[in-house]
Amino acid sequence: MDVSPDADYLERYNQSTHAWTKAFRLARGFFITFEGGEGAGKSTQIERLASKMRAKKYDVLLTREPGGSPGAEAVRHVLLSGAAEPFGPKMEALLFAAARSDHVEQVIRPAVERGSIVLCDRFLDSSRVYQGVTGGIDQAFMDRLEQVAINGMMPDMTLIFDLDPAEGLRRATVRRGAEAAADRFEKETLAIHQARRAAFLAIAAAEPERCIVIDAAADPDTVENVVTAAVFAALETRAPARDRQVTPA
Ligand code: TYD
């Protein structure tokens, strides 16, 4: 099994964390997560939002889970290849938590503390849904694991991309090519994906101050407009800009 970290991803990681462009920082950082089922368009939309923000001179860090730091990227391969699957959902939940803890401490917290906007493709809600709800793991165990993994680093805002799983899986198949194999979590039954959709919507309903549901069935430009409007409105009210401080070039 190949467990070497994804070279392209690490290259982008290095560029985004170490090669600063001139950008202004916020008085405090802002941490936004993108969540939802397979093929809902999160990755496309997170890249579009990052480009838009960078064009407006915001200091943006784009990252993802599982992964996002060299240590967590190594764990990503173990999880998505299915190598950990035979050891059960608890083992997988612990590995996701280990990867998240490394990602939080090495990448997310330092970026938020220096005033950046952090955009993260999947985070704790994916564990709540995939390992907790559809993995059947005890809620109290998952709650404790989450606290250890995030160590207080709760997202300021979470966008939940909502889409009929049949359509999401169709899109995901087109994206990877019909002949390539689905990953460990994508390959599960439609009923499981439907349960995940319901679980994401339940989180959004329970935490309306953090979560906003995005209708991902619309065309990508429409979704982009909705995402942009929601995020900029939140930034304006909740994260005022510091006096346009320029970061080192
Ligand atoms: P990935 O290839 O990053 O694709 P996408 O986010 O576009 O689906 O796959 C990540 C997979 O890992 C996805 O099936 C969801 C799953 N996952 C969990 O089960 N728990 C988690 O905590 C995280 C972050 C992801």
Question: Domain boundaries in the chain?
Answer: 18-248
Which tokens in the block code for residue 114?
């220096």
* 248 pLDDT tier (thresholds 50, 70, 90): very low
CB 62 within 8 A of CB 119: yes
Average pLDDT, the chain: 89
* 20 pLDDT tier (thresholds 50, 70, 90): very low
Residues 195-218 have pLDDT tens digits of: 999 999 999 999 999 999 999 999
Instruction: Over range 69-76, report the average pLDDT.
Output: 96
Residues 125-141 have pLDDT tens digits of: 999 999 999 999 999 99
Q: What per-residue confidence (pLDDT) applies to 236?
A: 86
Q: What per-residue confidence (pLDDT) applies to 13?
A: 54
Q: What per-residue confidence (pLDDT) applies to 208?
A: 96
CB 87 within 8 A of CB 94: no
- The yes-or-no verdict on residue 16 having pLDDT over 70 is no
3-state secondary structure of 231: helix
Ligand 1 center–CA 245 separation, angstroms: 35
Ligand 1 center–CA 66 separation, angstroms: 6
Q: Which fold has domain 18-248?
A: Rossmann fold (3.40.50)
Residues 141-198 have pLDDT tens digits of: 999 999 999 999 999 999 999 999 999 999 999 998 988 988 999 999 999 999 999 9
| 25-39, 75-89, 126-140: least confidently modelled range | 25-39
Q: What per-residue confidence (pLDDT) applies to 60?
A: 96
Residue 72's Cα: distance from chain center in Å?
13
Q: What per-residue confidence (pLDDT) applies to 18?
A: 42
| 5-9, 12-16, 31-35: least confidently modelled range | 12-16
Q: What per-residue confidence (pLDDT) applies to 62?
A: 97
Q: Whose CA is nearest to atom 17 of ligand 1?
A: 126
Of the chain, the percentage scoring pLDDT greater than 90 comes to: 80
Q: Which residues line ligand 1 (CB under 6 A)?
A: 38, 43, 65-66, 80, 96, 121-122, 126-127, 130-131, 183, 185-186
Of the chain, the percentage scoring pLDDT greater than 70 comes to: 85
* 5 pLDDT tier (thresholds 50, 70, 90): low
Q: What is the DSSP letter of 217?
A: T
- The yes-or-no verdict on residue 225 having pLDDT over 80 is yes
C-alpha to C-alpha distances, 207 to 44, 124, 159, 213, nearest whole angstrom: 25, 13, 12, 11
Residue in 247, 246, 173, 161 with CA at minimum distance from that of residue 212:
161
Atom of ligand 1 nearest to the CA of 42: 7
- The yes-or-no verdict on residue 24 having pLDDT over 80 is no
Ligand 1 center–CA 35 separation, angstroms: 9
- In angstroms, the CA 224 to CA 122 distance is 18
